[in-house]
Structure 1
Amino acid sequence: MTDTTTDSPMGAFERYLTLWVALAMIAGIGIGSVAPGLVGAIAAAEVASINLVVAVLIWAMVYPMMVSVDFGAVADVARQPKGLLVTLTVNWLIKPFTMAFFAVLFFEYIFAPFIEPADAQQYIAGLILLGAAPCTAMVFVWSQLTKGDATYTLVQVSVNDLIMVVAFAPIVAFLLGVTDIAVPWETLVLATVLYVFLPLMAGLLTRRALGSAEKVEAYTARIKPVSVIGLIVTVAILFGLQGEVILSNPFVIALIAVPILVQSYGIFALAYGAAWVLKVPHRVAAPCAMIGTSNFFELAVAVAISLFGLNSGAALATVVGVLVEVPVMLSLVAFANRTRARFPGPAG
């Protein structure tokens, strides 16, 4: 496979994503306090349990990255199957279940004295949604920062998206059922179709309409900021609705972050270690570990809103995941770059 690594820097939006999210949280809390009627009107704009305002914002987040997915590259994975094997094993056979385990461990046992049982169940649900949604968008950034093979990363993301269309809803429903949370199957499936399958189809049609790879790349670069803007506005809306809870009990944010941190570093160690044992080249090993560690938080936020509502604890948990993810992933990028010499060089 051609080595398509790149040294181009992370864009300003991605580099300071944690700052933008933090500012959106503050702005949301402020708007919720000053203009609760506005936030309430947004929350009331629902059809079939899908919030229309947030649906538009989620599409703004998801569509740009779906345009980057080239399903024609899937066949190239046969040249280096080990990296994909690690990614898929971690993403679909391990990660959702370890996240559910840590969520239950912390919120039903360790943090039980500090959290009401009903709130704990909501936070567990949000964490399960995070754990069952492997990264699709930001993994391209992490791959770039670790000098990963961009083509192979694209293959991994493409295969993940194909699997996610059919596996996300059943896995989430199973895990939520295990934790005794009622699951409206129709809403879950609808959200998966709306936020994964349809954007994928739209991205595929856009690629075909644009034609050349150069036009696709230029188009993606132009619309990429829309994704982050959609995320920031969504976070502001969520924290506008959650402002009263956060101001009355900011400690809950730190509690939600704990199992996310444990899960993130544990999954990275597992995936990165497996890639090292299998002698996967670093340009493939680093991105495959990043995909398993990072989360498709756009989907997790969307489904949490669809299933439990904009002002739910589950939605709050997924938003905390957004806040935690960027600094965690940047620390892992630094570690991966420091350990590059321990992996074999490019294969072939």
Structure 2
Amino acid sequence: MDQQNKEGISIAARGDSALGSSSDRNNSSRDLFKRLSILDRLLTPAILVAMIVGVIIGEYVPTVQEAFDTARFDGVSIPIVIGLIVMMWPVLTKVQYEAIPQIFRSSGIWTHIGISMFFNWIVGPLVMVGLAWATLPDLPTYRTGVIMVGMARCIAMVLIWCQLARGDGNYCAILVVINSVLQIILYSPYTLLFVNVVGGRDVSHTHLDYGRVAISVLIYLGIPLAAGIVTRYTVWFLASKQFLEQRFIPMFGPVALLGLLYTILVMFAYQGHHIVLNIGNVFRVFVPMILYFVIMWSGGFGLIYWLGRRSDTKKKDFNYEMAVVQAFTAGSNNFELAIAVAIANYGVGSDEALAATIGPLVEVPVLVALTWVALYLQGKLSWSQDGQDVRGDV
């Protein structure tokens, strides 16, 4: 294998028969696994272990939820809040904020902002409402929780998935910030519209105010964003940019994955007993959630690939990195906000809160699987780079 192949990119000039052979597919799958770091390889089984251990703790340690609820912040257990912030801190330290002004000067960013707004604020809510009604017509309380998840657009874990799938972190950060601002404005009216008006639920106690949404965004994006910016430029100032990018970030980066595993463990332990007690309804809630994540992710990924294949587009604006950004931005949700609002309005032991909690429990394994799908498709499809069609060799 020559040096260009080792770097993971080669000109798409192989014959179709060679690409389609069984041995070649097996080799590419093995090569994909080899390209991943040790932490990336172990992430999927580690997540499964964290989920199982969490449920066991939640079921056999009945006081665990009470212990977690001893200290709460904005309606959410402090251990969960800590995990979510720690999970985001290293990812937001990695973002090259100094490059953002240059990105905004490109015409491509405005196209991608428009695509993201379309998926997040038109397609996403309608798809989730449709799936919730189609699959949970007889479970209005669980349906409400599912809809609340659908209205809460991505601001946090999308950065984790984008990083794992080798997407463009800078573009992803821009879209996350824009979605966060829109979320402050739109989450309350969207949820009231789709729960009370479209859903026809007579729940006069349901009141979602802009202040609660703004505080949630501030906590789960504002705090780690500020920490990431301060950390990045403090290390840069005290050492050098080379030290920051080549030494500090590689050492600090795994903290995000540890934060992810910790958060999953705590969340499953927090709701473990409730999940086991309502296992039948929980499995029913899995259905709209799984369908939603797969449909939205596939729509975003497929649209960018299709646009990149069109002869009348700037192909460099529709490459693999941007397909990853749009796919995970469209297919992720701000479950922190949905859980916090559901607990505040319906109570921690409510069906609505349980359904909202199931969101990340489904999202995590599904989107981990989709990161593997993205990495696989990076090598199997022809992508555009600066106007030239290339095929990633995985």
* Structure 1 equivalent of residue 388 of structure 2: 345
- Counterpart pick for 2:188 among 168, 173, 179: 173
The answer to whether 1:155 aligns with 2:181 is no
* Structure 1 equivalent of residue 50 of structure 2: 24
Provide the rounded CA distance (Å) in 1 between the counterparts of 2:154 and 2:95: 22
Query: 1:27–1:236: 8 Å Cα contact kept in structure 2?
Result: yes
Cα deviation 1:173-221 (Å, max 9, x = unaligned): 3321221264243222111112212322221221221112222222222
How much has 1:79 moved relative to structure 2?
7.2
Instruction: Indicate how the Cα distance of structure 1 residues 229 and 139 shifts in structure 2: closer, same or farther if over 3 A, else same.
Output: same
The answer to whether 1:189 aligns with 2:223 is no
For structure 1, the 5+ residue unaligned runs are 145-152
Deviation larger for 304-313 or 50-59: 304-313
Instruction: Indicate how the Cα distance of structure 1 residues 302 and 170 shifts in structure 2: closer, same or farther if over 3 A, else same.
Output: same
Letter aligned with residue 214 of structure 1: Q
Provide the rounded CA distance (Å) in 2 between the counterparts of 1:116 and 1:56: 33
* Structure number with higher relative contact order (C-alpha < 8 Å, ≥ 6 residues apart): 1
- Counterpart pick for 1:64 among 71, 77, 90: 90
Deviation larger for 281-290 or 331-340: 281-290
| Identity value in percent | 17
Instruction: Indicate how the Cα distance of structure 1 residues 106 and 154 shifts in structure 2: closer, same or farther if over 3 A, else same.
Output: closer
For structure 2, the 5+ residue unaligned runs are 1-5, 9-33, 196-205
Letter aligned with residue 112 of structure 1: L
Instruction: Indicate how the Cα distance of structure 1 residues 99 and 298 shifts in structure 2: closer, same or farther if over 3 A, else same.
Output: closer
How much has 1:319 moved relative to structure 2?
2.7
Deviation larger for 292-301 or 254-263: 292-301
- TM-score w.r.t. structure 2 length? 0.74
Provide the rounded CA distance (Å) in 2 between the counterparts of 1:94 and 1:297: 9
* Structure 2 equivalent of residue 286 of structure 1: 320
Instruction: Indicate how the Cα distance of structure 1 residues 86 and 321 shifts in structure 2: closer, same or farther if over 3 A, else same.
Output: farther
Instruction: Indicate how the Cα distance of structure 1 residues 173 and 15 shifts in structure 2: closer, same or farther if over 3 A, else same.
Output: farther
- Counterpart pick for 1:142 among 150, 165, 169: 165
- TM-score w.r.t. structure 1 length? 0.83
Letter aligned with residue 216 of structure 2: A
How much has 1:6 moved relative to structure 2?
6.2
How much has 1:282 moved relative to structure 2?
5.8
The answer to whether 1:11 aligns with 2:37 is yes
Instruction: Indicate how the Cα distance of structure 1 residues 174 and 90 shifts in structure 2: closer, same or farther if over 3 A, else same.
Output: farther
- Counterpart pick for 2:335 among 293, 301, 310: 301
Query: 1:91–1:134: 8 Å Cα contact kept in structure 2?
Result: no
* Structure 2 equivalent of residue 335 of structure 1: 377
Cα deviation 1:241-275 (Å, max 9, x = unaligned): 33344332252353121222122112221232223
* Structure 2 equivalent of residue 209 of structure 1: 234
Task: Determine helix, strand or coil for the equivalent of 2:360.
Answer: helix
Letter aligned with residue 263 of structure 1: M
Provide the rounded CA distance (Å) in 2 between the counterparts of 1:319 and 1:29: 11
Cα deviation 1:287-315 (Å, max 9, x = unaligned): 11111111499972322332223662112
- Counterpart pick for 2:309 among 273, 276, 285: 276
Query: 1:54–1:302: 8 Å Cα contact kept in structure 2?
Result: no
The answer to whether 1:246 aligns with 2:279 is no
Provide the rounded CA distance (Å) in 1 between the counterparts of 2:192 and 2:103: 35
Cα deviation 1:114-133 (Å, max 9, x = unaligned): x5101111012123325576
Provide the rounded CA distance (Å) in 2 between the counterparts of 1:226 and 1:293: 24
Larger Rg over CA atoms = 2
Query: 1:126–1:316: 8 Å Cα contact kept in structure 2?
Result: no
**When the two structures are aligned, how many residues end up with a matched partner?**
332
Task: Determine helix, strand or coil for the equivalent of 1:183.
Answer: coil
